[in-house]
Structure 1
Amino acid sequence: MKNSENIIVGISIGDLNGIGGEIVLKTFEDARMLDFCTPVIFASAKTMTFLKTHFNSEINFNGLNDIKQVIIGKVNVFNCWNEPVKIDFGKEDLKIGEYAIKSLQAATKALKDGDVDVLITAPINKHSIQSESFKFPGHTDYLAQELGGESLMFMVTDTLKVGLLTDHVPVKDVSSHITPERIQQKINTVYKTLKQDFNIQRPKIAVLGINPHNGDNGVIGNEDDIVLRPTLLKIKETGKLVFGPYAADSFFGSSNYKNFDAIIASYHDQGLIPFKTLSFGKGVNFTAGLNKIRTSPDHGTAFEIAGKGVAEENSFKEAVFTALEVFKNRTEYQELTSNTLRKAPKSERR
């Protein structure tokens, strides 16, 4: 297993007109961070020098043209481009979106190739990244295609973990996306990630209902009774500790969430509004289910404060620590699983 600072953290710079560059600088101005990992920022030395000057940062960079030349214990910058970039803080700009994608694609390639161990993505603007060659609604869908596995948006803190049955889906289409197959797949993904990535050996999972009051016996909708409830019963029969559906309106306010290791919400706002209310600035967006590890802060580009030097780096820093924790837990889990299989009789390895 790798030791602390030898874990190489790839960082995609996100939308340069937002707060991404600022929170990355602030995170690694704390020299103690280099005791835990070695960062590689995917941007350009020229761009990062501009940001360093603008924010009066004292950070020092090691510029790279070859990803194999990373220096452990330094803040590395891999040059994804060499030309000057016009940064106009707070503005939506399709050209800046192109640089965000260049950074993301280079960082993802390095992750796939094993040149970095984990990926932290700074916030992007979902509109300015769209092009003929990039038609994904955000990071998660792109990374699911590139990295393989069954992706799931999983918002996490030490004490609260919320997954989603559907993520960036219009509200009018939510119920049509929630099928028995999707429910089983998402619950299996949460169950596996709690065990291998967060070292929770007997996960206890709550599932929130689709309709208000779980449909009130069909008065407000029948999806909970016809689709969700029977599927949860089948999953429970396999031995998983899965409970619900719970009425979403009172679940968090009653503190019932504290009785579970994870909560699965039916749609984006049902899960993320309470999560961000309870933990904004401390939460982390972890893409569970992928073959590689990716995290990001729990906020967006924050154009309204970009360039002003007032952005808080706490969530980005937590994203780094979460990625490191998951990397170590997953490595230990895989080693343990591998050793168990090697020791088992051949008849049990199938």
Structure 2
Amino acid sequence: MSAKQHKIRVGISIGDFNGIGPEIIMKALKDKSITDFFTPVIFGSGKLFTYQKNIFKLQQTFNYINEASHAQSDKINMVNLWKDNVNVDLGKPTEESTKMAIESLEAATNALMNGEVDVLVTAPINKDEMLKQGFKHAGHTGYLEEKFNKKGLMFLVTDDLKVAVSTHHIPVSKIAENISKEKIKKQIKLLNQCLIEDFCIQKPKIAVLGLNPHAGDGGAIGKEEIEIIEPAIRELFDNGVLAFGPFPADSFFQPEKYRSFDAVLAMYHDQGLAPFKTLAYEEGVNYTAGMPFIRTSPDHGVAYDIAGQNLADERSFSEAIFAAIKIFKNRQEYNDLMTNRLRPRKVAANGVDEDLPEDENH
């Protein structure tokens, strides 16, 4: 079955159920025709979702299954991980909601790696509470890097704005020591390849931000631009990667500037995410780039302050679902194209092209 014909199976982890996770999941799936486009597979609890759908007056039915491989393509599937009653305390994290967030994420990720779902979309988690319960990572990215044994890149995307960050969830005091020429080169190359494979941009233009105010002001406010960032950009540009900068971060996110580039690499979390969330909050998607599997999430958190009040906006979660589907199809089509392009051919005596067997490719 081709990428265009295949109905994508979307694995969904529920996040902290005392936040807005279940609400935005159900609202994103409320249209009765949604299963015409993809097959949802939620890793959660039937009793929990039944309780919360009654709060939000949603008319949804779930197909309860014991494992993701039993999902039906025309239904909203629920891998029923917990059959017992769940204590819901909307608006604040509990030990039970945190442990369930971890178990849901682990079950969904394992299903992704086993080929039982095609992509993973994660609802928001409370990182601090998960760390207290033994989770070893300050977010999804580090967890997925360990599971997939590959370095990824936190990449916030919309159609018009795409921002990656060089360092993730670390203290500001440790940012400078966590950047290097080689690390930035690897990240720009990963970003470049991601834009080609996952977003169908043939020759991406990538802007790189400076670390210091005014991009160091020629060394007056820091040497990282001169010693680390500029050499990395120059070396890659000389080898055909269209990387530019470093640009001062304070003035870069003006529409006439950022729209001249296909993506931006920021040096640290808030340098990239603060302007991104300001410009694209309702439609922004968090994508873990550079991984063998596709994972997206909304670009907001658990929002305890509005949990249970029927105020959560599901648009970012919906965007995350459809972004994951689009990236999956783009990547499949790219791989098909490259496979066909690289297949050796010979011309027969009658002038017709023929495929060469592999052992003739010398």
Which residue does the alignment assign to 1:176? Answer: 177
1:218-240 deviations in Å (ceiling 9; x for gaps): 21111111111111101111101
Is 211-220 or 191-200 further displaced after alignment? 211-220
Distance (Å, rounded) in 1 between the aligned partners of 2:162 and 2:327: 14
Distance (Å, rounded) in 2 between the aligned partners of 1:161 and 1:73: 33
Distance (Å, rounded) in 2 between the aligned partners of 1:206 and 1:349: 40
Counterparts of residues 117-196 of structure 1 (less than 5 Å): 117-131=118-132, 133-196=134-197
- One-letter amino acid of the structure 2 residue matched with residue 288 of structure 1: A
Q: Provide TM-score, normalisation by structure 1.
A: 0.96
Contact 2:196–2:203 (CA under 8 A) maintained in structure 1: yes
Distance 1:60 1:132, change over 3 A: closer
Is 333-342 or 11-20 further displaced after alignment? 333-342
Which residue does the alignment assign to 1:238? Answer: 239
Which residue does the alignment assign to 1:74? Answer: 75
Structure 2 unaligned spans of 5+: 346-355
- One-letter amino acid of the structure 1 residue matched with residue 24 of structure 2: I
In the TM superposition, what is the alpha-carbon distance from 1:66 to its structure 2 partner? 2.8
1:97-132 deviations in Å (ceiling 9; x for gaps): 100000000000000000000000000011111246
Q: Name the count of aligned residue pairs.
A: 350
Contact 1:165–1:264 (CA under 8 A) maintained in structure 2: yes
Q: Secondary structure at the match of 2:15?
A: coil
Contact 1:148–1:290 (CA under 8 A) maintained in structure 2: no
Q: State the structure with more CA Rg.
A: 2
1:317 and 2:308 are equivalent in the alignment: no
| RMSD, aligned CA | 1.8
Q: Secondary structure at the match of 2:290?
A: strand
Structure 1 unaligned spans of 5+: none
In the TM superposition, what is the alpha-carbon distance from 1:303 to its structure 2 partner? 0.4
Which residue does the alignment assign to 1:206? Answer: 207
Q: Secondary structure at the match of 1:6?
A: coil
Distance (Å, rounded) in 1 between the aligned partners of 2:232 and 2:284: 30
Q: Provide TM-score, normalisation by structure 2.
A: 0.93
What's the % identity of the aligned pairs?
48
Distance (Å, rounded) in 2 between the aligned partners of 1:132 and 1:299: 22
1:291-349 deviations in Å (ceiling 9; x for gaps): 00000001000000001011000000000110010000000011111222322787998
- One-letter amino acid of the structure 1 residue matched with residue 140 of structure 2: H
Counterparts of residues 281-296 of structure 1 (less than 5 Å): 281-296=282-297
Contact 1:215–1:224 (CA under 8 A) maintained in structure 2: yes
- Runs of 4 or more off by more than 3 Å in structure 1? 2-5, 344-350
Distance 1:174 1:348, change over 3 A: farther
Contact 1:168–1:268 (CA under 8 A) maintained in structure 2: yes
Contact 1:4–1:37 (CA under 8 A) maintained in structure 2: no
Which residue does the alignment assign to 1:102? Answer: 103
Distance (Å, rounded) in 1 between the aligned partners of 2:225 and 2:181: 11
- One-letter amino acid of the structure 2 residue matched with residue 270 of structure 1: Q
